[in-house]
Amino acid sequence: MLELRNVSKWFGGLPALQDVSFCMEPGQVTALIGPNGAGKSTLINCISGVDRAQSGSICLAHHPIGALPAHKIAALGVARTFQNLKLFARLSVLDNVLTGLTVAAKRSFTVSMLRLPALRHLERQLRLRALEALDDFGLAKKAHWPASSLSYGEKKRVEMARAFVSDPRLVLLDEPVAGLNTEETAQIARHIRRQRNAGHTMLLVEHDMELVMDVADQVVVLDSGRCIACGKPEVVRSNPMVLEAYLGRMEATA
């Protein structure tokens, strides 16, 4: 499904990613963990085309996507959320989720301006899909609210709905539960589990080890831009390098 080989990225001479390589199988959840500044978000940015790796290759279903711009990667069925929410504050909740269907919507200006029956029909279908996704994430009642009036936890869910609404091939989730309380975290965990059961392939960046051990089929550990371990959760968990580099440090700071 997704194959990374020797992906490297520098920010002004400082390495953020160094020779990161791993594979993801369809239908699997891969957790990407590592201490702050390890390069997790940078990796997600490189996969989604928001940023560009300077060397190495990224392949989606054997097609190289490393050099494609973000909108082309989105069109191939890669959706993502952002660590720092990127909702459109002035749009309604429903319209926010509808932007997740940009690829499915018509792109022609002329067709849109004429709004012929075929377009109306398509738009109605998209609306239904968006409402369904909102319902999945327990937000159907607030569909017409301005996104800016939601609570932080609700916004996180809107972003998830926006990512999943298009039924993407690959979803990149950057810290979906960061900043949420235990109840909200459990709620999001349920959603992630449900999406996994529905067969979605996900790359999940997360600090919450309980969630990671629970939903991940595979864990990739980054430390200072290097991939120091990769494998099944129970194996990675007992890997001494990981314990030292990550878990130990986490416990020391916790």
Partner 1 sequence: MMTARDNLLYFLYLHRTGLTVLALSVLLLVWPLLESNPYNLGLSNLIAIYAIVVLGLNLFIGYAGQISLGHAAFFAIGAYGSAIGTTTLGGPAWPVMIVVALAVSLVALALGLPALKLSGHYLAMATLGFNIVVYSILVQWDKVTGGPSGFSGIPYLSIGSVVFDNEIAFHYLVWTVAMIALLLCLNLVRSGVGRGLAALAEDETAAAALGVDTRRAKVKVFILSAVLASVAGSLFAHCYAFVSPDSFNIFVSVDFVIMVVVGGMGSIWGTLFGTALITLLPEWIEALESYKDIIHGLILVLILLFLPQGLVTGIVDAVRTRIALSRHHA
Ligand X SMILES: Nc1ncnc2c1ncn2[C@@H]1O[C@H](COP(=O)(O)OP(=O)(O)OP(=O)(O)O)[C@@H](O)[C@H]1O
Contact residues for partner 1, defined by CB under 8 A: 48-50, 69-71, 74-75, 79-80, 82, 86, 88-91, 95, 98-109, 112-115, 119, 123, 126, 142, 145-146, 148-149, 162
Verify binding: residue 49, ligand X, rule CB under 6 A: no
Return the one option of Mg ion, partner 1, ligand X, none that residue 66 interacts with (CB less than 5 to 8 A, by type).
none
Q: Residue 162 binds which entry of Mg ion, partner 1, ligand X, none, with Cβ cut-offs from 5 to 8 Å by kind?
A: partner 1
Closest CA to 34 of 230, 218, 223, 208: 223
3-class SS of residue 94: helix
Angstrom distance (rounded) from CA 44 to CA 58: 11
Where b means 16+ CB within 10 Å and e means fewer, 61-76 reads eeeebbebeeeebbeb
Q: Determine which residue in the list 2, 22, 29, 34 makes contact with ligand X, applying CB under 6 A.
A: 34
What 3-state DSSP class applies to 225? coil
For residues 10 and 88, which CB has a smaller minimum distance to partner 1 in the complex? 88
Q: Which two tokens stand for residue 203?
A: 């790359």
Minimum distance between the CB of residue 83 and Mg ion, rounded to whole angstroms? 5
The smaller minimum CB distance to ligand X, of residues 126 and 176, is found at: 176
Distance of CA 242 to the CA centre of its chain: 23
